[in-house]
């Protein structure tokens, strides 16, 4: 440690691992992780979301797991809850879709209608 | 793999003694078995403050606050919450006031009214990892000070902040630093007084255990300001966890060259060593503390010369308390004006209180100066349990006095506490209800100071002993009204003529209870009755006609002294009664009392 600059670098690097504890009011990504969700492969999807948001340096995003929402046939279900409460429900999410959701929905702000539960469940 | 969840477990002394370390080990084992270990980070933090609910476990990012967790619960928590994302309802903390379950811990009333500055990192970071402290802007204040401020500017900033010593006396920290800075000597010292001794106070321990680096950083800042290159932390050997974590912290700070030589390439050297105290209360007095570091008996000496002129080994020394130091880095990060704006005009900032005694949320709370006792005790503390009435609160430990309900709405700061006949002290707050005998409370504290008096000066050594003799006499029912006057006059004599603050404040609990609860003393000496039912020789329990005949008292009596049938008024056989008070606690309608009753009532007693 030679200077304030060094300290700042170390701070930013350490903060990354702790962000989870200080996020408030950002976007929430809720992954359905009931038995049905896990069986349908929700776990790698969840991890993909974490990887992707981290790779894009998205700070204000909470990724969390929730229980079964009753649409077991459409698992893995992922809900993106915006700051203002708007919910987008994606279903049958795969790892590649997760990446797409992060890039299109979270970064570019475009909802991916084709993956939404309302579009697939007809 | 990146972590998706962090589980924080309280590693303060309170929770560790209820096996939080074993809980951490069990989490490690179960998660490894389930193949989830890599996704979850386990962190042992410092104290969360809500010790009553321990062991405490918090799940992030959900902020789920689990209380009273046992090793046996870990399997379920992993299976349900970590794997399936379903919080375990039965373990979620309940709000003690309205009994509702609280999912998100920032909703807890206990935390809502608090403002945590000294405790800012306690329960939030891993105290064993310097990187987590740095992530919270740790050592940035030291960097800023060394980079862009002169020592005089540093002293001035602390002075302007209005920070006052949190150890008890409330002396201006900036002025203290200025004295030491002005003393001419090549060798100076900085001492952190971590000899926390008041019964019921544990905020310093929590800071050292939960955020040791904040104290190290502040000591280095102080060293720079006054021109010292060596610091000592005088910490009680009874705080093994604090000692262990301080040692780790000093080691890590050395590794990153945040302590040692040429810190931040500024040419400033500073080092810190620990000195362990053997737990004598008097060593919290700064001159006694320095004597103890020098290897002498821990006894105070006359001031002046003050430590800032002639301190450790004859060199100028600045002594500050742990909580005071913990505030310092924040002052430099956010500015003296920011700090000054918090609290009251003459007492800026916040104060940590250790809530204990008859209170729902035993634990540590930090509130801005100027908060009222009512807010601290009833809103944050959750009030008095078991439908009892508030009687008084003892502040400042054995050096303070009691505050009664008529002062509950007074904003508390250093000066208002003194005006109420007590003192801020280190911030211990023992809440008492109608079942506490104030004579017995005074006796308890005096018993403590008699034990802890070092014996150097006569008023303290002999005076407190004589006062205790009188109190013992009163509690046994052998006191007279004259004794109360004698007690008072010895009390003032000890206060006025003792050498150090220990003796000067030792009579306070007695004098203040005599002032506020003289009627209780009179009941002891004239009626030979202890109204609260604590002094065994003066307690005669009676069942009054409020009795509904529920039989709870007779079921709870350990010696079978209570007779009576269902829906009939019960009778206590005083020959068998051992005055344990179990019946009084069990009674749902407060029908059992030890207060003197009109003659015809006592026939039934």
Condensed to tens digits (0 to 9), the pLDDT of residues A5-49 reads 999 999 988 887 777 676 666 788 888 887 788 888 888 998 899
How far out from the chain centre does Cα B306 lie? 27
Closest residue by Cα to residue A65 from B83, B35, B79: B83
- B263 to chain A: nearest residue by CA? A2
The whole-number pLDDT of residue A22 equals 66
Cβ of residue B576 closer than 8 Å to a chain A Cβ:
no
Chain B residues closer than 8 Å to A62 by CB: 61
Residues paired with residue A28 on neighbouring β-strands, in sequence order: A62, A81
- CB count within 10 Å of CB A72 equals 15
Strand blocks (E) in chain A: 27-32, 61-66, 78-81, 87-90
Helices (H), B203-309: 203-210, 212-226, 240-255, 286-293
What distance in Å separates residue B40's CA from the closest CA in chain A? 11
Inspect the interface and report whether the beta carbons of B139 and A51 lie closer than 8 Å: no
Per-residue CA distances from B48 to A33, B6, B11, B45, B88 (Å) = 30, 16, 9, 8, 20
B59 and A CB contact within 8 Å: no
Q: Which helix (DSSP H) or strand (DSSP E) does residue B586 occupy? A: helix B582-586
Interface test with A, best of B84, B124, B128, B148 (most A CBs within 10 A): B84
How many CB pairs (< 8 A) connect A and B?
A: 90
User: Is the separation of the CB atoms in B225 and B177 below 8 Å?
Assistant: yes
Strands B592-593 and A27-32: unpaired
- The pLDDT of residue B430: 94
Sign of the torsion angle spanned by Cα atoms B405, B408, B413, B416: negative
- Are the CB atoms for B277 and B195 separated by under 8 Å? yes
Q: Are B226 and B177 in contact, with CB atoms under 8 Å apart?
A: yes
> Would you kindly state where each structural domain of chain A is located, as residue ranges?
22-120
pLDDT at site B603: 45
Bridge partners, residue B64, by sequence: B59, B104
DSSP per-residue letters across B75-130 = HHIIIIIIIT----GGGBPBPTTT--B-SBGGG-HHHHT---STTTTTTTS-TT-H
Closest Cβ opposite residue B60 in set A15, A20, A31: A20
Chain A: residues touching B (Cβ < 8 Å)? 1-4, 7-8, 10-11, 13-15, 17-18, 20-21, 23-24, 31-35, 38, 46-47, 50-51, 54, 62-67
Better pLDDT: A109 or B157: B157
Positive or negative torsion for Cα A17, A23, A26, A32: positive
CA B392 to each of CA B151, B200, B358, B384, B512: distance values in angstroms, whole numbers, following the listed order: 45, 16, 10, 11, 11
CATH for the stretch A22-120: 3.40.30.10
Strand bridging mode B230-236 / B189-194: parallel
Q: Chain B interface, mutation test: which of A3, A5, A7, A37, most B Cβ atoms within 10 Å?
A: A7
Q: Which two tokens stand for residue B526?
A: 């004239």
| Of residues B162, B137, B165, B160, the one with CA closest to residue B149 | B160
Q: Mind telling me how many Å the CA of B341 is from chain A's nearest CA?
A: 25
Q: Which residues of B touch A23 (CB under 8 A)?
A: 61
Closest CA–CA distance from residue A115 to any residue of chain B (Å): 23
Give the integer Cα–Cα distance in Å for B220 and B319.
13
Give the mean pLDDT per block of 10 residues along chain B (605 residues). Answer: 82 90 94 89 89 89 89 92 84 74 71 89 89 94 95 97 90 96 96 91 91 96 97 94 94 95 95 94 95 95 94 96 97 96 94 92 91 93 87 91 92 91 89 93 95 95 96 94 96 96 94 94 93 89 90 92 91 90 88 71 45
Please indicate whether, in this complex, the C-beta atoms of B132 and A34 are within 8 angstroms of each other.
no
For residue A22, the chain B residue with the least C-alpha distance is: B61
B62 touches A at CB < 8 Å: yes
Helix and strand numbers (H, E) in chain B are 26, 18
Instruction: Please give the structure tokens belonging to residue B513.
Output: 């209870």
Question: Which among B83, B138, B265 has the least Cβ separation from residue A2?
Answer: B265
For the stretch A60-93, pLDDT in tens is 788 887 777 777 888 899 989 887 878 899 999 9
Residue A53 confidence (pLDDT)? 87
> What SS3 state is found at A116?
strand
Residues in chain B with CB shorter than 8 Å from the CB of A38 are 83-84
Cα torsion through B169, B175, B178, B184, rounded to 10: -50
Inter-chain residue contact A10 with B134, CB threshold 8 Å: yes
Rounded CA separation B229/B249 (Å): 18
pLDDT value at position B601?
45
Could you give the CA distance from residue B346 to residue A14 in angstroms, rounded to a whole number?
A: 38
What is the widest separation between alpha-carbon atoms in chain B? 85
CB atoms within 10 A of CB B35: 10
Contacts of B507 (CB under 8 A, 6+ apart): B446, B463, B464, B467, B490, B491, B492, B494, B495
Chain A contact set for B134 (CB, 8 A): 7, 10-11, 14
Say whether A17 and B135 touch across the interface (CB within 8 A). Answer: yes
B184 vs B93: CA distance, rounded Å: 56
DSSP string, B345-411: SSSBSEEEEEEEES-SS-EEEEEETT-BHHIIIIIIS---STTPPEEEEEESGGGS-EEEGGGTTSB
Closest chain A residue to B123, measured at CA? A21
B284 contacts: CB under 8 Å, gap ≥ 6:
B167, B193, B195, B196, B197
Report the DSSP pairing between strands A78-81 and B5-10. unpaired
Contact B367, B189 (CB under 8 A): no
3-state SS, residue B279: coil
The token pair at A34 is 């009931």
Structure tokens at A102: 């992060």
The closest of B231, B193, B178 to B319, measured between CA atoms, is B193
Say how far apart CA A10 and CA A1 lie, in whole Å.
9
> pLDDT value at position A24?
61
Of residues A4, A15, A21, nearest to B143 (C-beta): A4
Which residues on B lie below 8 Å from A7 (Cβ)? 134, 139-140, 143, 264
Check residue B277 and give left, alpha or beta (phi > 0: left; psi -120 to 50: alpha): beta
Query: Given a cut of 60, is residue A104 above it in pLDDT?
Result: yes
């Amino acid at each position: 440690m030679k200077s304030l600059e060094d300290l700042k670098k170390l701070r930013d690097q350490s903060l990354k691992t702790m962000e989870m504890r200080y996020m408030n009011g950002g976007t929430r990504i809720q992954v359905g992780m009931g038995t049905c969700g896990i069986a349908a492969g929700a776990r790698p999807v969840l991890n993909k979301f974490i990887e992707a948001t981290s790779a894009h340096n998205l700070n204000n995003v909470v990724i969390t797991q929730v229980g079964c929402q009753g649409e077991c046939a459409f698992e893995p279900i992922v809900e993106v809850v915006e700051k203002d409460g708007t919910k987008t429900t994606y279903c049958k999410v795969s790892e590649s879709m997760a990446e797409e959701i992060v890039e299109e929905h979270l970064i570019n702000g475009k909802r991916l209608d084709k993956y939404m539960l309302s579009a697939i469940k007809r | 793999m990146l972590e998706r969840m962090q589980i924080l477990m309280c590693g303060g002394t309170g929770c560790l003694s209820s096996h939080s370390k074993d809980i951490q080990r069990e989490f490690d084992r179960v998660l490894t078995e389930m193949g989830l270990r890599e996704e979850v980070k386990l962190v042992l933090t410092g104290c969360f403050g809500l010790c009553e609910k321990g062991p405490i476990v918090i799940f992030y990012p959900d902020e789920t606050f689990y209380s009273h967790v046992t090793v046996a619960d870990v399997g379920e928590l992993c299976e349900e919450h970590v794997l399936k994302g379903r919080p375990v309802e039965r373990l979620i903390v309940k709000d003690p006031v309205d009994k509702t379950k609280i999912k998100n811990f920032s909703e807890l009333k206990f935390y809502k009214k608090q403002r945590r500055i000294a405790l800012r990192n306690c329960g939030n970071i891993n105290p064993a990892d310097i990187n987590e402290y740095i992530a919270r802007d740790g050592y940035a204040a030291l960097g800023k000070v060394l980079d862009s401020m002169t020592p005089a500017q540093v002293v001035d900033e602390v002075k302007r902040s209005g920070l006052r010593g949190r150890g008890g006396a409330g002396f201006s920290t900036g002025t203290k630093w200025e004295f030491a800075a002005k003393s001419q000597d090549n060798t100076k010292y900085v001492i952190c007084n971590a000899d926390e001794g008041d019964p019921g106070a544990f905020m310093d321990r929590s800071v050292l255990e939960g955020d040791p680096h904040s104290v190290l950083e502040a000591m280095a800042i102080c060293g720079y300001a006054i021109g010292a290159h060596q610091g000592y932390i005088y910490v009680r050997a009874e705080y093994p966890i604090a000692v262990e974590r301080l040692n780790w912290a000093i080691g890590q700070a050395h590794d990153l060259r945040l302590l040692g030589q040429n810190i931040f390439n500024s040419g400033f050297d500073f080092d810190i060593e620990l000195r362990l105290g053997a737990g004598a209360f008097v060593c919290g007095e700064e001159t006694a503390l320095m004597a103890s570091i020098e290897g002498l008996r821990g006894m105070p000496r006359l001031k002046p010369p003050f430590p800032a002129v002639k301190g450790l080994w004859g060199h100028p020394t600045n002594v500050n308390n742990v909580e005071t130091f913990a505030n310092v880095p924040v002052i430099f990060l956010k500015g003296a004006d920011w700090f000054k704006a918090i609290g009251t005009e003459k007492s800026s900032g916040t104060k940590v209180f250790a809530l204990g005694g008859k209170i729902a949320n035993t634990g540590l709370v930090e509130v801005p100066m100027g908060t009222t006792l009512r807010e601290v005790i009833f809103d944050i503390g959750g009030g008095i349990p078991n439908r009892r009435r508030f009687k008084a609160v003892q502040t400042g430990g054995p050096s303070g006095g009691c505050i009664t309900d008529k002062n509950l709405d007074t904003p508390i700061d250093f000066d208002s506490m003194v005006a109420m006949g007590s003192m801020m002290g280190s911030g211990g707050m023992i809440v008492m209800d109608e079942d506490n005998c104030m004579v017995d409370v005074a006796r308890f504290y005096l018993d403590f100071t008699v034990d802890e008096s070092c014996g150097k000066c006569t008023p303290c050594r002999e005076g407190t002993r004589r006062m205790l003799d009188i109190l013992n006499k009163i509690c046994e029912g052998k006191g007279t009204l004259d004794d109360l006057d004698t007690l008072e006059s010895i009390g003032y004599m000890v206060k006025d003529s003792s050498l150090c603050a220990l003796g000067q404040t030792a009579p306070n609990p007695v004098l203040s209870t005599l002032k506020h609860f003289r009627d209780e003393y009179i009941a002891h000496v004239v009626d030979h009755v202890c109204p609260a039912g604590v002094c065994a020789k003066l307690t005669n329990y009676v069942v009054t006609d409020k009795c509904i005949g529920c039989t709870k008292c007779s079921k709870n009596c350990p010696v079978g002294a209570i007779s009576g049938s269902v829906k009939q008024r019960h009778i206590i056989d005083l020959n068998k009664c051992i005055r344990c008070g179990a019946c009084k606690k069990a009674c749902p309608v407060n029908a059992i009392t030890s207060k003197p009753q009109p003659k015809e009532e006592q026939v039934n007693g």
